[in-house]
A = this chain, B = another copy of it.
Amino acid sequence: MKAEIFSIGTEILLGEIVDTNSKHIAYELASMGIDVFYKTSIGDNEKRLLDAINIAYKRADIIISTGGLGPTDDDLTKETFAKYFNKKLITHKESLENLKSYYKEEYMPKSNLKQADMPEGSIVLVNENGTASGCIIEKDNKIAVILPGPPSECLPMFNKQVKPILQKYTNKVLLSKNLNLCGIGESNASEMIKDLMLSSTNPTIAPYAGNNEVRFRVTASGKTKEEANKILKPTVDKLYNIFDEYIYGEDEQTLQDVIVKKLIKNNMTICTAESCTGGLLASTIINVPSASKVFLNGVISYSNDSKIYELNVCEGDLQKYGAVSEKIAIQMAEGIREKCNSHIGISTTGIAGPTGGTDEKPVGLVYIAISIKGKETFCKKLMLTGDRQKIREKTVHICFSNLLKLI
């Protein structure tokens, strides 16, 4: 079964809004085993919409459209689909009642009435979060699912009302698992399992890169959830064997989620001493809801003075080696840990640019250090590329991936 997703609205074509509905719908369809080969955005224009419908039904069985169900004259999605399917629009009683109850005693503009007119013979989807009903039209093996545009109306309608109906059309269940890797690039990781990826059809393996991380998504299809799970597991196990040292979590888990969880489990506390990352390291940890259980204190030590007074960095070493050096990174990490009496202290010092680099210490040179009670302090020299923000983000990411190995 193949589906095509339409997002309808001139505001999308003018770049005034981002279409997020289609992402959610595509994700749900994928998990139901319905293929989506195209998504199309079209303006509020009858002729162009009709053209798009004609093209779509040549390559798909089902169109899921969002948008264009508003009360104004330029909203014509329902009207155009009704025309294509040669169906009359007739007042749908329950939709009309929903519409009236929505306005309660307030004045309802007459134009809204058309939101209760639905194609005859269609399955009407009454809107629990707005005034525009949606509908499902089926004719000659072609299906159209017509949904309102606002995500707060469209997505609940899709999840609650449309999904159970679509499930009947598909005879399979899809299960996916994402494996999240750090410390390895997309090309290298893909290279390592090139043959496995090519030969796997069920389950499939797909790599995704982003935010300095690599993710493999394994998707299995079966008649039941149990069957899909059975098909999924051996490949997931295989990937765990191959990428054991790189996989840090699954699905929506971030590196900082995993670190905070592990720190809580091990009853460990953490402090940060940041120069070039300027608070980004602490901020990323603290964005994890339970971070307050492990995060004690952070210092953004931008000036040499504050490195000396706040972190007990040796003034002589600062002069001798400079603030961006292994020596100072180590002293910063140890300094914050000892000061706050935490289990872990992390530090960053570097040149994030765009200016401030020299031949000896160019933009992108960063030192990170991790001091853990009772262990020798870990320190790493990095040479990073990208703009100021990228260099800072990469530094934070590398801090986390090294910290995870050490705790």
Contact = CB atoms under 8 A, between A and B. Distances in A.
Interface of A: 10-20, 22-30, 36-43, 45, 48, 51-52, 55, 59, 70-72, 102, 104-105, 109, 111-112, 129, 150, 152, 185-188, 190-191, 206-210, 217, 272, 274, 277-283, 285-287, 289, 291-292, 295-303, 305-306, 310, 340, 353-356, 383, 385-390, 392
A38 B40 CA distance: 7
Contacts of A45: 37
A319 B24 CA distance: 46
Given A191-B111, A303-B297, A354-B289, A12 B41 contact: no
B302 A298 contact: yes
A18 B15 contact: no
Nearest to A15: B27
A386 to B, nearest CB: 7
Contacts of A17: 23, 210
Main secondary structure of the interface of A (DSSP, over half): mixed
Contacts of A12: 23, 26, 39
B383 A104 contact: yes
Copies in the complex: 2
18 contacts: A13-B37, A14-B27, A15-B26, A17-B23, A18-B19, A38-B41, A70-B186, A72-B207, A102-B385, A104-B383, A278-B298, A279-B281, A279-B283, A279-B298, A289-B388, A297-B301, A298-B300, A299-B299
Nearest to A102: B385
A392 B282 CA distance: 13
**A-B complex: 5 closest residue pairs judged by Cβ atoms:** A15-B27, A278-B286, A279-B279, A298-B300, A15-B26
Query: Most chain-B Cβ atoms within 10 A of its Cβ — which of A23, A45, A51, A356?
Result: A23
B272 A185 contact: no
Contacts of A38: 13, 40-42, 48, 52
Contact of A302 (B15, B26, B129, B296): B296
Contacts of A305: 296
A217 B79 CA distance: 25
A387 B129 contact: yes
Contacts of A188: 109
Given A185-B109, A282-B300, A18 B23 contact: yes
